[in-house]
Amino acid sequence: MVRTIRVDYRDVLREIQLSEERIPVSIRRIAKIFGYRPYMVQRYVDMLGLEEAYKLLQAFERRPPPAIRCNTLKIDCESLTKRLERLGFGPKPVEWCKDYCFRVVKTPTSPSLGATHEYFKGFYYVYRDIAALLPPLLLDPHPNELVLDMAAAPGGKATHIAQLMKNRGFLVANDKAKTRLPALIENLMRLGIVNTVVTCFDARELPLKLRLRFDRVLLDAPCSAEGAIMFDPERKRKTSIEDLARLVAREIEMLYAAIEMAKNGGVIVYSTCSIAPEENEYVVNKVIDLRNDVEVIEPRLNVGSEGLTSFRELKFSKDVRKCLRLWPHRHGTEGFFICVLRRTRA
C-alpha cells in the first residue's frame, strides 16, 4: 500500500520554537554585530558553546574555494588537470575523492571556471564547494541500477550519479520547479548523460505518480540553505522561525516519500545545505518514529562530524549519530548534513 503524509507546520513550530525571552542580551549583541537573527546565534551556542559558535560565525565570513568534478565519461582526469593548469587554474585533489574531484585553489583573472572550452565541452562540472560531492558518493550507485534523484535541478548530483553509474542503468531526475528544468536538461546534455529521464512532480507525490521502486534514492532537500551563508549573506536574516517550521514540515513529508520510493533493502540518502538540527536530525528522527521499515546506516566514507543525538529539550535516536555534519569552522566547507538510510522491508 502506497503511503504519503502531511505534517502541520504548527505542530513542528511548537516543538522547535524558542521564546525570545530566553535569548540573553549578550547573544542579541553578537547577532547584531554579525547581522543574524538572534534565534540562529542562540542555536549555534546551544550546539557548540560560545567559543566555538564564535568561530563558526567567523568562518561564515570566508568563502571556501570552488570545486570541480572531472567528467570521466568524456575525458581522463590527468588530461583535464593539465589543460586547466595551462589556463592558470590550480586543481587540488579532494582527499576522500582523489580520482576525479578537485578543489580549485588558484584561478586566473580570465577565463572563469564556467567559461572555458573544457567546461562547455562537458569535461567537468563546477561546484561552489566540495560538500555537494558527498551525497552521490554516499548513495554509491552502481551501473544497471534503478536510481531516483527527487530534487535534481540544476543537475550537479544527478550528473554525478549518472557518472558513477557509468551512464548505464536508469536514473530518474525529478524536480518540482519547471523554471529549474532547463538548467538540469542543459547539464545532462552538456555532460553527455544518456541514462536519465527528467520528470516534473512534487517530490512528496512521487509515490502516487510513479509505480517504480528504486535501488537508491537521493533527496537533497530544498531547505533554508543556512549552511551556505558565506555564499548568500541574506540567509543570516531570511528565515524566520515560522518559515523554518514550514520548511521542516515539508522536509519530513519529502523524506517519508523518499523511503516510500525505495525497494526492500534500498538505500536512501537525505542531505541539506543547512546546519540547523531542526532540518536535519529532527527530520530524520521524526521519520524514523513514523515508520517501522527504515534504519540509519553507517556512511561508507569517514568524513565530517557525527550527527547530534539531542538539541535543547529534544532527544533523538542514538542511531542519528551515524549521520554526517560538515561545519565551516571545522572542515573548511559550507555547512552540510547527510544521512544514509536503508529500507528494511517494502
Query: What is the set of active-site residues?
Result: 273
Closest CA to 142 of 166, 165, 163: 165
Q: How far apart are CA 265 and CA 187, in angstroms?
A: 31
DSSP 131-146: GGGHHHHHH---TT-E
Task: Please check whether residue 284 is in contact with residue 219, taking contact to mean a CB–CB distance below 8 angstroms.
Answer: no
Q: How far apart are CA 267 and CA 259, in angstroms?
A: 8
Integer distance in angstroms from the first to the last C-alpha of the chain? 9
The answer to whether the Cα torsion of 272, 277, 282, 288 is positive or negative is positive
Q: How far apart are CA 49 and CA 260, in angstroms?
A: 38
3-class secondary-structure state, position 149: strand
Grid cell for residue 281: 536530525
H-only helix segments in 66-105: 77-86
Q: Which residue has the cell 555564499?
A: 231
Q: How far apart are CA 72 and CA 95, in angstroms?
A: 18
The answer to whether the Cα torsion of 176, 242, 34, 323 is positive or negative is negative
Task: Please check whether residue 328 is in contact with residue 274, taking contact to mean a CB–CB distance below 8 angstroms.
Answer: no
Mutual angle of helices 38-48 and 25-34, in 10-degree steps: 110
Pairing relationship of beta strands 214-220 and 262-272 according to DSSP bridges: parallel
3-class secondary-structure state, position 236: helix
Task: Please check whether residue 38 is in contact with residue 44, taking contact to mean a CB–CB distance below 8 angstroms.
Answer: no
Q: How far apart are CA 162 and CA 258, in angstroms?
A: 19
